[in-house]
Amino acid sequence: MSVQNDPAEQFAQFAHPERLVSGDWLEAHLGDPGLVVVESDEDVLLYETGHIEGAVKIDWHTDLNDPVVRDYIDGEQFAALLGSKGISRDSTVVIYGDKSNWWAAYALWVFTLFGHEDVRLLDGGRAKWEADGRAYTTAPEAAATVEYPVVQRDDSRIRAYKDDVLAHLGNPLIDVRSPEEFSGERTTAPAYPDEGALRAGHIPSAQSVPWGRAAAEDGTFRPISELNEIYRDGAGLVDGDNVVAYCRIGERSSHTWFVLTHLLGFENVRNYDGSWTEWGSAVRVPIVQGSEPGAVPAR
């Protein structure tokens, strides 16, 4: 059972307006049959401090990642997780979170790996909800367990592995990390632990577009005209492009994946979740330093 879309005018400009809902819409639909609200944050305690009424919590570290292998949970684990949160295969899921929905977008991307069809973001996430003066509750999570089918994860469409990225070189890459991470001038003062990568810089030819540029001050997504300026005029993307986005561990780039796929309508966007922590430590992969994208090496 699917819940109707938010017809709000500000979403009509996007390629897939059905992927966003506003605070007004969510407030009016809380408790609708078929709707489950999910909070997903960087901070693992934020949900406990107060959350939207009836929302369940899904944590990217402790719920969505496999605890042993560097990978996402599998079909059985995903089915058990979603079932325990009261989510059915046909539920409309609205995800929101902190940091301009950075982690919410990551959760949405993982839901998409499993082909969960109707999954949306609350535009602006926690910050906008709070700024609008809307209510939170500290009531403990209370979801009745339901049946969620075991669906095998499909990594072929929206996820890229390191070898995929090597084969992709020559096509557009978007590096969504900070300019300092991109150029390789890491801030490494003495006694700081390293950041989990042995080399600094970026993948050759990658355009630097820090993920946060897609978010406005209030945490909502920027209007389509500004997104076009950033990604088409600025980063040179054109319709039909095959795009790979990456960051440090694949979370910030999920936000960019959402923008490119659902707001701008690019159909072939993959998130390289191995990202810099893999690439920057891999043996003999090409790396470019400095603020320029650099050329794709000859093979």
Identified catalytic residue from 21, 165, 243, 247: 247
Structure tokens at 146: 């339901």
* Binding flag, residue 44, other proteins (CB under 8 A): yes
Residue 253 Cβ vs other proteins, minimum distance, rounded to whole Å: 16
Residue 130 Cβ vs other proteins, minimum distance, rounded to whole Å: 9
Residue 5: Cβ-neighbour burial (10 angstroms; 0-12, 13-18, 19+)? middle
* Binding flag, residue 142, other proteins (CB under 8 A): no
Q: State the first-to-last Cα distance of the chain, in angstroms, to the nearest integer.
A: 50
Out of 20, 35, 91, 98, which residue is the one contacting other proteins (CB under 8 A)?
98
Q: Is 247 a catalytic residue?
A: yes
Interface of this chain with other proteins, residues 13 to 42, rule: CB under 8 A: 42
Q: Are strands 268-272 and 242-246 parallel, antiparallel or unpaired?
A: parallel
Phi, psi of 37 (to 5 degrees): -100, 130
Cβ-proximal residues to 53 (8 Å cutoff; 6+ apart), any chain: 30, 135, 136, 137, 139
Question: Measured between alpha carbons, how far is residue 148 from residues 61, 90, 162, 283 in Å?
Answer: 21, 9, 31, 41
Stretch that binds other proteins, among 25-33, 46-54, 151-159, 278-286 (CB under 8 A): 46-54
Residue 193 Cβ vs other proteins, minimum distance, rounded to whole Å: 6
* Binding flag, residue 194, other proteins (CB under 8 A): no
Stretch that binds other proteins, among 71-79, 162-170, 186-194, 226-234 (CB under 8 A): 186-194
Residue 129 Cβ vs other proteins, minimum distance, rounded to whole Å: 12
Structure tokens at 181: 């991470």
Quick one: 12 or 192, whose CB is closer to other proteins?
A: 192
Cβ-proximal residues to 298 (8 Å cutoff; 6+ apart), any chain: none
- Applying CB under 8 A, the residues found at the interface with other proteins are 42-46, 48-49, 59, 61-62, 65, 67, 98, 126, 187, 191-193
User: Where in the sequence numbering do the catalytic residues fall?
Assistant: 247
